[in-house]
Structure 1
Amino acid sequence: MEILKDVQAKGIQNLYRRNIERIFSALKVTTDFWKVVDYSDLPVPYASAIINSLLEKGLVKIENDEILLTEKGWQVCEEYQIGSYKDFSCEACQGRGVPFYKNTEFYRTFVEIAKDRPEPVQQFDQGAVTPETTVSRVLHMDMRGDIEGKEIIVMGAEDDLTGLAIALYGGYKRLLIIDIDERLIEFDNKIIKELGLKNVEARVHDLRNPYSDEFLGKFDVFVTDPPETFAAFKAFIARGIATIKDHGGAGYFGLTLRDSSIFRWQKFQKELLRIGAVITDIIQDFNDYMNWGYHEDTKAARVAPVKKAPKDIWYRSAWYRIELLPGFERTNDPISDEVFYLDEEGSTT
């Protein structure tokens, strides 16, 4: 496909024909750029580059920040037999396989508490998922046997209040929540104290620093939310694995196709296998992110072919679960600031 060659000639190599077809499929049902990104499962810079190429070839036009297929664009869809984007996700569970309302009391309690949560800040690459997402995470963890009687650490992921949600849910043996953001830890500790929650502790901790012995090999389950450069992913997952007691331990985290390509997912998955983990669950689009207030300051806003900010949920990530096998690799090295840089795929920090 000529369009693919044009985009690759501009320096974006991690694409193939299917990616172009997905953009066309999305454009057949929406004129909103951010929904195109969502439906096509592409990093924002890649989707933007494809749209710009389509503009140059007269296959789309932009009017009032809406992207419209031209007659020529519709002809391309017909020529290559490109169908419309379709979504047959279960409406009851929103495609997660875990209906958040299965525990109504837990859901209502969490929603009431979370409404006063600190707002996400760009400094720490934060973005909060919907309350339904957080509740579904906890229910999924319990369904997989990773809460009741377990010692759990939630590390660098409290912008979603997942640690606090587990604390409210209960059933664990011990829960430790660590995050660099003092606001989140103060919020958690306030709720923990007010409700008299037991066997839970929230502390400020910078994951760039190696763990002390009190963290190493002391937990059954970790939850984290790694930045999506390969170096950052590798470093954050290593931090999680360092806390696990023994084989059979589990880890949870999210990975997007909004800040990473499928090519990078391959690198992520190879690294997991190398260190002795096996992927047991990948639930695509499990995590729905609410739009963050600093969008206009992101690379995503700068490279988008439209100026209109997203109105609906468009940023989603898959929910991964891994389990550790005998002989898994445990490391505890310092993490350099350099791993957090933006690259050609990342754009939302």
Structure 2
Amino acid sequence: MEIVKEVQAQGIQNIYRRNVERVLAALQVTTDFWKVVDYSDLPVPYASAIIRALAERGLVKIENDEILLTEKGWEVIREYNIGPYKDFSCEACQGRGVPFYKNIEFYRTFVEIAKDRPEPVQQFDQGAVTPETTVSRVLHMDMRGDIEGKEIIVMGAEDDLTGLAIALYGGYKRLLIIDIDERLIEFDNKIIKELGLKNVEARVHDLRNPYTDEFLGKFDVFVTDPPETFAAFKAFIARGIATIKDHGGAGYFGLTLRDSSIFRWQKFQKELLRIGAVITDIIQDFNDYMNWGYHEETKAAQVAPVKKAPQDIWYRSAWYRIELLPGFERTNEPISDEVFYLDEEGSTT
């Protein structure tokens, strides 16, 4: 397809024919740009560049913030035999494989408590997942044997209240929740005190700073949510692995195809293998993110071919589980601010 070369000419090299086909598949069932991003599993700048290239060729037109296929666009779809986007996800578990209602009392308790949570802020690259997502995370962890009797650290991921959810669920030996956002830690500590939760501590900590001995090699399981530049991913995962006691320890985190391409996923996965981890689970679109209030201030809003903000859930991430093998690498270096800078794929911070 010539469109691929036109998109590459815009400075986006990690693009190929299948990406264009996925956008055209999505456009057969929606006119909403943000749903196109969701259905095509592409970083926002990539989907935007493809839409603009399609518009320049007259294959789509943009009217009233809707992206409409033209007759010429339909001709191309027929020529290349591109079928429409399809979704056969299980409605009961919402595609996660873990129905949140399997522990309905836990879910109801978490929803009631989470309604007063602090709002996500752009300063810390925050975005909160749905309560159903958080509860399903905890159930999945327990199903994989990573809660009962375990020492767990949740690091830099409390905008989703995953640490608090584990605290409410119980069964762990020890739980430590650390985050840079004082609001989240204050909220957690308030609930911990009110409910008299045991063997759990929440404290403010900046992950850019190396760990002291009280963190190193003291936990069985870590949970984190790394920013998605390669340098930031590498740094955050290293922080998590540094806390693990021994081989057999596990880590959990999310990775998107909204801020990263599969080319970058390849780099992520190679790094995991290099440091002695094996990927045991990847559940695509496990994490559903609620729309955040600072959308208009993001690069995503600036590069989008429409002005309309997202109305429905569109930002999703895969849920990864890794397990550490004998001889895994443990490092504990300072993290530079430079690792968090946006690149050609990231756009939502």
Other structure's SS at 2:271 match: helix
The 3-state SS of whatever aligns with 1:95 is coil
Quote the Cα distance in structure 1 between the aligned partners of 2:156 and 2:306. 32
Distance 2:313 2:223 in 1: 23
Partner of 1:14: 14
- Aligned partners of 1:75, 1:146: CA distance in 2, in Å? 52
Shift of 1:269: 0.1
Q: Supply the distance in 1 between the matched residues of 2:312 and 2:24 (Cα, whole angstroms).
A: 20
- What is the CA–CA distance in structure 2 between the aligned matches of 1:148 and 1:340, rounded to whole Å? 34
SS of residue paired to 2:192: helix
Instruction: Give the superposition deviation at 1:258.
Output: 0.1
Structure 1 equivalent of residue 336 of structure 2 = 336
CA distance in 2, matches of 1:254, 1:48: 23
Residue in 1 that maps onto 2:52: 52
Once residues 194 and 11 of structure 1 are traced to their aligned partners in structure 2, the CA distance between those partners, rounded to angstroms, is 53
Task: Give the match's secondary structure for 2:238.
Answer: helix
Question: What are the superposed Cα offsets for residues 316-338 of structure 1, whole Å, 9 maximum, x if unpaired?
Answer: 00000000000000000000000
Structure 1, residues 270-321: CA drift from partner, whole Å, max 9, x if none?
A: 0000000000000000000000000000000000000000000000000000
Distance 1:99 1:15 in 2: 35
Question: Following TM superposition, by how much is the alpha carbon of 1:204 offset from its aligned partner in structure 2, in angstroms?
Answer: 0.0
User: Following TM superposition, by how much is the alpha carbon of 1:185 offset from its aligned partner in structure 2, in angstroms?
Assistant: 0.0
Provide, for residues 216-264 of structure 1, a one-character-per-residue CA deviation record: whole Å limited to 9, x for no partner.
0000000000000000000000000000000000000000000000000
Partner of 2:299: 299
| 1:281-320 equivalence runs, <5 A | 281-320=281-320
Q: Provide Cα deviations, 1:6-60, integer angstroms capped at 9, x if missing partner.
A: 1011111101110000000000000000000000000000000000000100000
Greater shift in the superposed pair: 178-187 or 9-18:
9-18
Q: Which residue of 1 aligns with 2:269?
A: 269
Scaled by the length of structure 2, what TM-score is found? Answer: 1.00
**Gaps in structure 1 of 5+ consecutive residues:** none
3-state SS in 1 of match to 2:292? coil
Give me the TM-score of the superposition, normalised by structure 1.
1.00
**1:102-142 CA distance string (max 9 Å, x none):** 00000000000000000000000000000000000000000
Residue by residue over 1:188-236, the C-alpha shift from the partner in whole angstroms, topping out at 9 and shown as x without a partner, is: 0000000000000000000000000000000000000000000000000
- Secondary structure (helix, strand or coil) at the match of 1:148 reads coil
- Provide the C-alpha distance between the structure 1 equivalents of 2:104 and 2:234, rounded to a whole number of angstroms: 37
Q: What is the distance in 2 between the residues matched to 1:131 and 1:12?
A: 35
Superposition deviation, residue 77 in structure 1: 0.3
The 2-side partners of 1:147 and 1:59 are apart by 51
Q: Which residue of 1 aligns with 2:23?
A: 23
Give per-residue Cα distances to partners, 1:76-114, cap 9 Å, x unaligned: 000000000000000000000000000000000000000
1:283 counterpart SS class: strand
Aligned-partner Cα distance in 2 for 1:187–1:345: 33
- Partner of 1:154: helix, strand, or coil? strand
**Which aligned segments of 4 or more residues in structure 1 are displaced greater than 6 angstroms?**
none
Deviation of 1:63 (Å): 0.9
The Cα RMSD (Å) is: 0.2
Distance 2:72 2:295 in 1: 33
What CA distance in whole angstroms lies between the structure 2 residues aligned with 1:22 and 1:315? 17
Give the percent of matched residue pairs that are identical in Structure 1 and Structure 2.
93
* In 1, Cα distance between equivalents of 2:66 and 2:284: 27
SS of the equivalent of 1:178 reads: strand
Ranges in structure 2 where 5+ consecutive residues have no aligned partner: none
Counterpart CA distance in 2 for 1:159 and 1:33 is 26
CA distance in 1, matches of 2:58, 2:256: 31
Aligned residue-pair number: 349
Q: Which residue of 1 aligns with 2:109?
A: 109
Tell me the distance in 2 between the aligned counterparts of 1:10 and 1:27: 22
